[in-house]
A and B are shown apart, each in its own frame.
Chain A
Amino acid sequence: MTATAPLLAIRGLRKSFGGLQAVHGFDLDVPEGSIVGLIGPNGSGKTTVLNLVTGEIAPDGGTVQLDGREMIGLPAFRVCRARIARTFQLVRILPGMTTRENVLIGRLFGAAPTTPRHAGREIDALLDRVGLADRADQAGAQLTYIDQKRVELARALATQPRLLLLDEWLAGLNPAELQIGIELIRRIRGEGVAIVMIEHVMEAIRALCDHVVVMSAGGLIASGAPDAVLHDPEVARVYLGDDDA
């Protein structure tokens, strides 16, 4: 797909749950520092791909290589330390810990583990970057939805990823928040982090993605530049519907 070797290369990824083929023969290249959009209707296997890549579940077959290193077979914590970070479709905040602690744990156990004492200033900078500086000491349970999403993003970034997997991170934001979110993702990419984003918000996909792949029923049905893919009649048929295309 690209001249140089991609950062992430997925080949022939397969997973069945009982009789259901959730993912079959999925291929994907993510070049260094790029943003790839992963779209498709609900139940098409997008989140399963993320779970397979991050070691949450084991595939039936296929390979996932980060910079030539095989990720399949590694437990989730090793994939994280190999510098692949993720957020979750349903926000997973640690309700009994403060915002700062929620983010701190990414730094303590991620790619470059350190001690609580040494992480302090870095965490403050990170909180500032995602717009949480003034809520650092609030309990996770008290944060608003958008702030919980920010915490998740900051926690993922704190692990120091080369590849960030966002599972509908922009879903549920109001138009103003969406602009902030898009800008934030753009800045993260600007710092050299490659991103795979599962997303339904077309505005964000057009604004951010270099490349879009479309999944339907566990397989790839289209792949290319955002505008071309979003105007593909087959994509419109399975996914976008008549009013959005």
Chain B
Amino acid sequence: MTVTPAHVDEGLWRELVPQALARLLRTYGRDQIDLCEDAVQDALVAAHQQWTVQAPEDPLAWLVTAARRRYIDRVRSDYRRRDRETREALLALPLNACSSESSAIDDSLLLLHLCCHPALPRSAQVALTLRAVAGLSTAQIANVYQLPEATVAQRITRAKRRIAELGGALPRPGDVTERLPSVLDVLYVMFTEAHHTTTGEPAHDADLAAEAIRLARQLHKALPLDTEVSGLLALMLLTEARRPARVGPDNRLIPLDEQDRRLWEPALIAEGRALVERAVVGATPGPYLLQACIAALHAEAPDTASTDWSEILALYRLLEVITENRNPTIALNRIVAEAMVHGEEYALACIDELAEHHPRLSRLAGVRAHLLERLGRDDEAVAAYRQAIKETRNIAEQAHLRARLRRLLRSPGAPSSHPVSDIEPSRRPTGVRRPWAGEATIASPRS
């Protein structure tokens, strides 16, 4: 459980924890991640008790020193370490002396890469990153995922054990480029999995989206020239900007084309667009940067009708090419843009072709139903909506589809006035506390 002394800024605190952990891992090796993490937690408790008046001048140095002492105490008292020689070696021969000049950002970055180790399953990568890098408590993570605390604790323990088994030191800077795609995916999963913390949620409730953005910012600070990192951060900011417009008064999902765009956060949009504009110059576009470009085009348009759909279509085509057509969700999004540019008939033909290869693709039946409704083919639209309602595993999306079906059943023959662009790459509600809020989600571009 992470505790925060009252007079220490929560943000600073959250930055100190992973830095202290990274320092310890640097000294003692990543096979000691379990003990190192415990030692840092002990040091936090000590800080909580001792920093009652004010924080020390160099809080990080204080924490690292305290954590080292705790680590040594723990190794000494660890009854499992009967082998005296191993014990002495652990204490006497740290892997390398602490390089105090190594920058805090680098340390957090290395820790992030360690947590996103490719040998770990994605759920473990995310949980470990939230624990070790974002500094959330196990209880907070359990709360976010609506899982028993013991389950999350076990997942983290297993992940740490696996990392220890893999042995060796922290990832080297050379590993950073190699593992970056996995790190970006973990952060994006964290972001899309964020449940809605709109109003009335307890203040201490961790907001996954905010954590993901914070970590992406850190990553961008460390790697300002990497266009995929810029793209990911921009994509998050541009999506987050729509949050106030995304959920209606009854916690009902509001699709992109029906959102009141005046509610979008201009500061986040400006920041996201600036990132995109800087990154696209001379860049070889990667999947995150392309998605950010698409999000930026939506952000620029005052409404669906004046959106630059031709440009969006071109970007989706490019996205399909660079992902080698491996992600059918991108194809589905491209088809939505096709409908806006080339009409519903053509889009419907594309959908049927896509359905041949991916009959169970999430959201496909819903898009198909909407295209049929717009063409006035009501009977087929009703059947397609029923199919879509059956197939979805997202309760908010189901409620949304059911509402459209009811509207169609009540007033058949009246073609929907709504454009088909009723989807956006966004978040999925995971909590049971707000089961009726949320919206459709796009899969990670690499999956």
Is A bound to B?
Answer: no
Interface residues of A (CB under 8 A from B): none
